[in-house]
Structure 1
Amino acid sequence: MPPPEVVLFDRDGTLVVDVPYNGDPALVQPVRGAREALDRLRARGVRIGMVTNQSGIARGMITRDQADAVNARVLELLGPFDDVQVCPHGPGDGCACRKPAPGMVLAAADRLGVAPARVAVVGDIGADVGAARAAGARGVLVPTPVTLAAEVDAADEVADDIGAAVALLLGGDDPGASAQARPSLDRR
């Protein structure tokens, strides 16, 4: 399978250590290997985006300005990013953007001028890969302690960490491939 043209990453638990409802940029800490993995994609000409559910805005726990400040810190530490999509809605709002709905993936693909089939989404929970699947994109799950076993079982592709996810997406043509990369668990 050829590498994707665009890779969209979930923010919390995938790019940065998950701090629930984080509104403080000072608490942003990249996950181990994130910068190196993103730089490998950039070196190959793969565009990068971030797609993040931020229900804390709808719940009144953080403001949009706080969420934007946290996103700006992520970009400062890990950027540049070609696109950033934020869903400010809560789980019961019925929007088309909140993962696992495909809205943010489709919006990023449209904004970057690429077909969803040439996009991959990397995330730590089933909603991330569900959004990819719903959009017609490729999804790679990187399990963390919050990932449910059923989400791992349902994922088409699973990687041990962000570096392994990038290695999986780039295939055998990745000189920076991590030893933890596993072949696809293609369950389609």
Structure 2
Amino acid sequence: MSNRHINEESSPFIFLDRDNTLNVDPGYLGNPDEVKLMPYVGESLALLTSFGFRFLVLSNQSGIARGYFTHNDADAVNEKINELLQPYGVQIEKFYYCPHQESDDCSCRKPKDGLVRQALLDFSVDTENSWMIGDAIRDIEAVQPVGISGILLAENPPEDTPNNLVFVAKDIKEASHFILQALFEKSYQHKIILNQTDLVQKRNTDKEHGKQWVFTNGCFDILHPGHLQLLYQARLLGDKLCVGINSDASVQRLKGDSRPVNSLSVRLLMLANLPYVDYVTVFEEDTPENLIQTLQPDIHVKGGDYQIHDLPESNIVHSYGGKVIILPFRKGFSTTKTIEKIMQK
């Protein structure tokens, strides 16, 4: 029978191997007095706790079947691990372990998925935002069938890896840092839409719901207050703001061989994290006419001292009934001048 956790709302969990992941492995560990945490374990799990992660252990303990120690010994070792983690404010909520040898052909010995499936019955797990950390490929393979991503603790990546292995870390500290980085990146990735077909679909859906799209574009190489003001004001003009940015090759053609200073991936990251930007996409051409023709935003915004009739894209916008609005630049800010100032120093 399932022992479903009282909190029915799903939570992100870190599934952990035990020996050589949480604790030093002397070989068939059955004596709690020999338990010693691996370096950085307490601090790393405490950090992850701060971000709402909870912890479960999935472990192979064939020493029981081999007669080296008992179930009670294994439980005592697990209790000792939690005792050592307590000063860090960390608790392993449950230790799942397989007591069998490989020859027993059970369903719970990793890389089989019996342990993790039992855990999913007992706890409400947000598998999409959960992770497995272990020092063996079998640890990662065990959670692959349930869609959990894995981090392998190793010096070098093995040749053959399961599809759910996303990172190889030298220790649990590096693994925890990667998880937090992934948490950050996931927060904005939905805003970056490189496939124009997907972007048009979002545009059409919003149009059906009566939402006005505003579009603006630029290199946005070194983001400064002038950019921020332009983007903030552009968003106020409609319901959704889509920003088109020049590809690296396009920036280089327009600005010279030394540009861009920040690569496309960095520029995408910076823009997607602005609260008033809804979507970010990329165009390879030097000007955004083709993208504007494809998206047909209700309003096209340009910053600077342009005249509407001087903009090559204005004819396209007007052809489908759109509107072009010129917003003033914030004085005193320029990417080119910022670079020149840095070079002078």
**TM-score strictly above 0.5:** yes
**Residue 57 of structure 1 pairs with residue 73 of structure 2:** no
1:1-23 deviation line (CA, Å, top 9, x unaligned): xxx80001101000111121111
Structure 1, unmatched stretches of 5+, are 175-188
Please give the TM-score of this superposition, normalised by the length of structure 2. 0.46
Corresponding residue of 2:121:
110
CA distance in 2, matches of 1:118, 1:105: 15
Structure number with higher relative contact order (C-alpha < 8 Å, ≥ 6 residues apart): 1
1:8-66 deviation line (CA, Å, top 9, x unaligned): 11010001111211111111110110000110111111111111110000111111111
**Residue 83 of structure 1 pairs with residue 94 of structure 2:** yes
Q: 1:92 to 1:134 in 2, by over 3 A?
A: farther
1:109-145 deviation line (CA, Å, top 9, x unaligned): 221112433431100011101112133211110116x
CA distance in 2, matches of 1:170, 1:133: 21
**Residue 163 of structure 1 pairs with residue 173 of structure 2:** yes
Structure 1, 104-113 or 44-53: larger mean CA deviation = 104-113
CA distance in 1, matches of 2:126, 2:51: 19
**Residue 13 of structure 1 pairs with residue 20 of structure 2:** yes
**Residue 68 of structure 1 pairs with residue 75 of structure 2:** yes
- Count of aligned pairs between the two proteins: 168
CA distance in 2, matches of 1:127, 1:59: 20
Alpha-carbon contact 2:137-2:152 (below 8 Å) kept: yes
SS at match of 2:91: coil
Return the match for 1:93 from 85, 104, 110.
Answer: 104
CA distance in 2, matches of 1:149, 1:126: 8
Alpha-carbon contact 2:13-2:54 (below 8 Å) kept: yes
Alpha-carbon contact 1:54-1:86 (below 8 Å) kept: yes
What is the deviation of 1:95? 1.4
1:60-92 deviation line (CA, Å, top 9, x unaligned): 111111111111111111241122211111111
**Larger-Rg structure:** 2
Q: 1:19 to 1:101 in 2, by over 3 A?
A: same
Alpha-carbon contact 2:13-2:126 (below 8 Å) kept: no
- Residue type of the alignment partner of 1:125: A
CA distance in 1, matches of 2:174, 2:69: 32
Corresponding residue of 2:53:
46
Alpha-carbon contact 1:106-1:116 (below 8 Å) kept: no
SS at match of 1:15: coil
Alpha-carbon contact 1:142-1:161 (below 8 Å) kept: yes
CA distance in 1, matches of 2:126, 2:120: 6
Alpha-carbon contact 2:157-2:168 (below 8 Å) kept: no
Structure 2, unmatched stretches of 5+, are 1-10, 185-345
Alpha-carbon contact 1:10-1:123 (below 8 Å) kept: yes
SS at match of 1:30: coil
CA distance in 1, matches of 2:78, 2:97: 9
- Residue type of the alignment partner of 2:33: A
What is the deviation of 1:102? 1.1
SS at match of 1:82: strand
Alpha-carbon contact 1:47-1:81 (below 8 Å) kept: yes
CA distance in 1, matches of 2:112, 2:34: 28
SS at match of 2:63: helix
CA distance in 2, matches of 1:89, 1:11: 16
Corresponding residue of 2:35:
28
SS at match of 1:104: helix
Corresponding residue of 1:180:
none
**Which protein has the bigger strand share?**
2
What is the deviation of 1:148? 8.4
- Residue type of the alignment partner of 2:140: V
